[in-house]
Structure 1
Amino acid sequence: MIVTQQLAELVAACHWIGAKGWCPATGGNMSVRLDGQTCLISESGQDKGSLEAGQFLTVDILSQRAQDHRRPSAETGLHALMYRRYPDVGAILHTHSVNATVLSRVEPRDWLILEGYEMQKSLSGEQSHLTPVSIAIFDNDQDIAALAERVAARDERDGLRHGFLVRGHGLYCWGRDVKEASRHLEGLEFLFQCELQRRLLEAK
């Protein structure tokens, strides 16, 4: 019953993300933890806005292999890493929005600082717009194992509290469950749009 509910919530989140236009052209991947050893993750090459329950695969977090031998997302390794590293992470959403993709390219540092926005409080643990929120940025890599190693090497306090950006690629964010991960995604997308607009206006 719990697995059925988790899957239903993840499918609904995927449809919402698709309607927002945050995962165009079959991009992105979504997952939810089932237990300490397994997670459900979206099948590779599927449109996230029309995903059905049967298009999620049960994957071993340690081996990253699907139980039924179908092909999970190419980026399963990053999901598995976060589930291994953070026992309280229950769901991960990876999107390819315009704001996240562009902002990750125009920010030259290896982190993005968000400060002064009331919407920062949409992120768990954030209580003031005056407290800077750091989001780690990693250079893109077609070698997911190598990218996962670089993410694993970053200190968890250094921009890995709510999610991270992959340069020119998109956003990974997470939460204790699908509901919290979705709130973090929506909050971060709003913050990214505000920050990008602020920079555009200041550049004029």
Structure 2
Amino acid sequence: MLFESQRRQVVELCVQLSYKGYFAGTGGNLMQRVDATHVLVTPSALDYLSMTPADVCVLRLDDLQQMDGERKPSVETAMHAGILKRRADVGCSLHTHQPVASACALIGEALQVPEPQAAILGPRVPAIAYRYSGTTALANKVAQAVTADTQAYLMKNHGVICLGRDSAQAVAVLDQLEAFCRAHLQQLISQQQAQQPARASVLARLLGSLGGAL
């Protein structure tokens, strides 16, 4: 089996992301660079808690030809490949439906990031316009949005993408984005409480679900 140890690491990463609540069932996907030619991609429509190393797909990055793996690769393969082709410094691209950052993606507005979070996320978290999952249109939109100084991206109505030089850094970006989005939503809800006293109890419950006021 090609790249067995690296594929085992992908399985472990997917389990980690599932327990964090960033992956759920078959939702979410990733691509990891293993050398100058090959990448690993999560399979399509497979529960990550039942995935094995043999299920992880090995592809050539340049043409996405599948070299090994018992499953069909993720429908978002072209999207991840476009990122890795555009950013040679990126070794891991993660697409998740993590709850709090995905709520910000539903709002669909770019976020300005202050220091010290900007050192991890970048100065701004863009909001990429919605396109159907798995389409060339989505892959093109994402590739056009990716910049050298930004590691986190909201996808309108679709979740988030986070990047890193390796999987550890990409997960750190995911964690930082979730924390930043939580604080952002807490601030928005607190402002609404002051502006809409008639909805104060509803907003208080919503705020409580995010851990309370800042």
Q: TM-score range by the shorter chain?
A: 0.7 to 0.9
Distance 1:91 1:154, change over 3 A: closer
Q: Percent identity?
A: 27
1:138–1:165 Cα contact (<8 Å) kept: yes
State the 1:155 CA deviation: 6.3
Matched, 1:165 2:186: no
d(CA) in 2 for partners of 1:122 and 1:19?
Answer: 26
Deviation of 1:121 after TM superposition, in Å, equals 6.2
1:123-162 to 2 correspondences below 5 Å: 123=120, 133-142=123-132, 144-154=135-145, 156=147, 161-162=150-151
Aligned mates of 1:194, 1:155 — CA distance in 2: 24
Deviations 1:89-142 (A, max 9, x none): 11111110121221112244xx222336x5x16717x7xxxxxx3011112212
Give the CA deviation at 1:166: 0.8
Gaps of 5+ in 2: 194-214
Alignment of 1:168-187 (within 5 A): 168-187=157-176
Inter-partner Cα distance in structure 2 for 1:196 and 1:162: 20
Deviates more, 1:63-72 or 1:13-22: 63-72
Of 97-106 and 48-57, more deviation after overlay is shown by: 48-57
TM-score under structure 2 length normalisation: 0.79
Compared CA separation, residues 18 and 155, structure 1 to 2 (3 A): closer
| Contact residue 106 and residue 157 of structure 2 kept, 8 A | yes
What letter is aligned with 2:147?
E
Q: CA RMSD, aligned part only? A: 2.4
Structure 1 portions without partners, runs of 5+:
127-132
Question: Deviation digits for residues 151-199 of structure 1, max 9, x if unmatched?
Answer: 2333625xx6202111111111111111111111111111111211221
| Equivalent pair of 1:96/1:169 in contact (CA under 8 Å) | yes
Rg larger in 1 or in 2?
Answer: 2
Higher helix share: 2
Relative distance call for 1:138 and 1:25 in structure 2 (3 A) is same
Q: 1:68, CA displacement in angstroms?
A: 4.1
How far the C-alpha of 1:44 sits from its partner, in A, is 0.3
Distance in 2 between the 1:113 and 1:52 partners? 39
Change (3 A) 1:171 1:154: closer
Q: TM-score, structure 1 length as denominator?
A: 0.82
Contact 1:81 1:152 in 2 (8 A): yes
